Structure 1
């Protein structure tokens, strides 16, 4: 029984972490950004996440901003390493 409670607590923590990381408004204004094209399947999924989980509090732009921000934070070292490996001399 205690193991089940621990598991439930971990799920709750993960849900809270997800909500804090991704389901929050940002100061980004869509019209000040750039257009990005994504496949219709991703657009449908993202729209559902924003509408249902975001509860009308966030925009699609907010959600995408938060996802990309987290991605860049998580993979900064890898991105920088790949960039350094791919640098070609100018002359």
Structure 2
């Protein structure tokens, strides 16, 4: 199943990872919230961002793009999961 998703992402795109995750669509200001991640993940993400300097990606934009992709990919599953566990107030 992962290969099918990858193949769909690869159609006509030279580097699908870079085009999905290493694009900065946000101003450089810090309007977000503080979030803590594992030190080893932080190091990995920083290393990815550092090699993408020509795309001007930031750690913030990389994490935001990862989350955006996650919600697009699994949005229906997340909604189903939430609705099964959330009881209406009335």
TM category, shorter: 0.7 to 0.9
Shift of 1:17: 1.3
TM-score (norm 1): 0.76
The corresponding residue for 1:19 is 18
Q: Report how many aligned residue pairs link the two structures.
A: 79
CA distance in 2, matches of 1:30, 1:74: 28
Q: SS at 2:30's partner residue?
A: helix
Q: Which structure has the bigger radius of gyration?
A: 1
Q: Tell me, which stretches of 5 or more residues in structure 2 are unaligned?
A: 1-6
Q: Tell me, which stretches of 5 or more residues in structure 1 are unaligned?
A: 1-9
Q: SS at 1:24's partner residue?
A: coil
Q: Does 1:62 align with 2:80?
A: no
Shift of 1:28: 5.1
Q: Which structure 1 residue ranges, 4+ long, deviate > 4 Å from structure 2?
A: none
Change (3 A) 1:15 1:35: farther
More helix by share: 1
TM-score (norm 2): 0.77
Change (3 A) 1:84 1:17: same
Shift of 1:55: 2.1
Change (3 A) 1:30 1:64: farther
